[in-house]
Structure 1
Amino acid sequence: MARLRSLIVIALGAAVALYPAGRAIAKEPVRLVFAADLVPLSFEDEGEVRGIFVDVAREVFARLGQPVDTALYPWERAQQMVRQGEADGFITIATKARAEYASCGRIPVLRAPLHPLVRADHPRRQEIEAATDLADFKSFEIVSYLGNGWAKQNLAEHNVFFAADFQASLRGLAKGRGDLAFVTTTAGAYYLREYSLQDKLVVLPMVADLFEYVLCLGKQSPHAGLLPEFDRVLEVMRAEGAYAPILGRYGMERVTFY
């Protein structure tokens, strides 16, 4: 036993020698995964991971002195990685299903209202504008896209055409396919500008839903305890106007989201 203690002391001494006084052992980074091609929230640009979610997460963790790694994956794969402990967390909408394997923050990284979108010259535009809830759209064909979980859950009793992806749904609507679509203020504002569709498609004032995106950290993650601190820094950033330059990089205005 005495010999074992001696060996332990020697090993500890060797380890200390590798880290001179005053030099801190590097922190393990928080590994965050994001949905690929979710412009302007998370996407790849010239080999770099970019987006509003990515920039906010980096800023918050930088203020906490905590390194962070960011990576893009197909959304289902990203969620599986957090479920299995291969990644620490993601930014998304808190749901009961996700609560089984992750703890989610209380302060939204982003709030994104969901609005109807209609062609400017649609012959029944006034009827669409008069709608006050989803039930009022049952006589119209709605254009959505494959993989849209919200549409599957909330528009099951409606006439819905599913395009290949979100971008295709907007282009199809602009060309006369269907009567209306639903877009968030983030994706809608970005793509209408990118595709020069501002004169063809109109975002209506009605709010069909409100998406609140929060940081969720896996219950297996060694960084799960950082969640309250993340929320605290978000509140500070919001109060001091630090969101404005992040949103501005993607053509967004703070008033749109808060």
Structure 2
Amino acid sequence: MALDAVPLSSFARQVAARELLVVGTRFEGIYERRDNGDFAGMGVELLRLYAGRHGYHLRFELYPWRRAQELINSGAADVLIGPYKSVERQRTMRFSAQPFFRDQVAFYVRADRMPIWEGDYDMLKGRRIVTLNGWTYGPAFTRAQAQLNISVANSVESGLKMLAIGHVEMFATNRRDTDPVVTALGLQDTVMALAPLIDVQDAYFAYPLAPRQRDLPAQMDQLLADMRKSGELQRLARRFGVTVP
């Protein structure tokens, strides 16, 4: 058969086979969609470098965080950008061998109503705490969660607003995503991060347990290792204001 006689449906299948569906929620400096519709962030740039090296086309989509995780768990998407690792998540998704950024996770409180924390969850019994839907906060928080009075918000902005108006007393989140929103909402004199930290969490790329592209996880691990060794990963992190482990 002549080349120009190859059925279009066959060509479409070939293109689809080399496409990676990348999902996530908006993470400051990691995975963002600009006003013109383009995607940007450290996670986006790393995947573009990977796609260029291995000949893939990327399709980026934004979802609420819990929904993005469900798409990876079911195998409907190929890559999830930026999840923290937990025992529960490792049962349903495959993590990259090494993380590519690190977050400080903290309680935010009203500056005029600072509860005593000191890293002891027994001190927080009865406190009204808001967390983010689908987030994990580390093993200590997970162990204490059943004894805490927790409600759930769907965005950092919503959690901060709940805190600012006094609907809750504490907001559990990370500083990378939250500090810019505090500034955007003009809450610098109203809310603050409380010491000590809840945890320090490393974040990864994640894939379905049985990836459609079987070589993808190992190839991405190699790219990250090469970039870390050359210093390119650290330079990319500085460009986006992100901390590298």
Same fold, judged at TM 0.5 (above): yes
AA aligned to 1:114 is: V
Equivalent residue of 2:75, what SS? Answer: coil
Percent identity, aligned pairs only, is 21
Cα distance per residue 1:114-172 (max 9 Å; x no partner): 112122222x45x24xx123333225322335x24547955321223444643122123
Mark the runs of 5 or more structure 1 residues left unpaired by the alignment. 1-10, 19-24
Shift of 1:227: 1.6
Task: Please tell me whether residue 106 in structure 1 is matched to residue 85 in structure 2.
Answer: no
Q: 1:237 to 1:208 in 2, by over 3 A?
A: same
Counterpart of 1:62 (choices 52, 66, 73) is 52
Equivalent residue of 2:218, what SS? Answer: helix
Residue pairs, 1:130-149, within 5 angstroms: 131-145=118-132, 147-149=133-135
The answer on whether the counterparts of 1:116 and 1:204 sit within 8 Å (CA) in structure 2 is yes
Task: Please tell me whether residue 217 in structure 1 is matched to residue 196 in structure 2.
Answer: no
Q: Normalising by the residue count of structure 1, what TM-score does the alignment of the two structures yield?
A: 0.71
Equivalent residue of 1:204, what SS? Answer: strand
CA distance in 1, matches of 2:152, 2:63: 23
AA aligned to 2:122 is: A
Equivalent residue of 1:108, what SS? Answer: coil
Mark the runs of 5 or more structure 2 residues left unpaired by the alignment. 7-13
Shift of 1:180: 1.9
CA RMSD of aligned residues (A): 3.4
Structure number, greater radius of gyration: 1
Q: Normalising by the residue count of structure 2, what TM-score does the alignment of the two structures yield?
A: 0.74
Q: 1:83 to 1:180 in 2, by over 3 A?
A: closer
Task: Please tell me whether residue 90 in structure 1 is matched to residue 80 in structure 2.
Answer: yes
Length, aligned pairs only? 230
CA distance in 2, matches of 1:195, 1:52: 24
Task: Please tell me whether residue 81 in structure 1 is matched to residue 68 in structure 2.
Answer: no
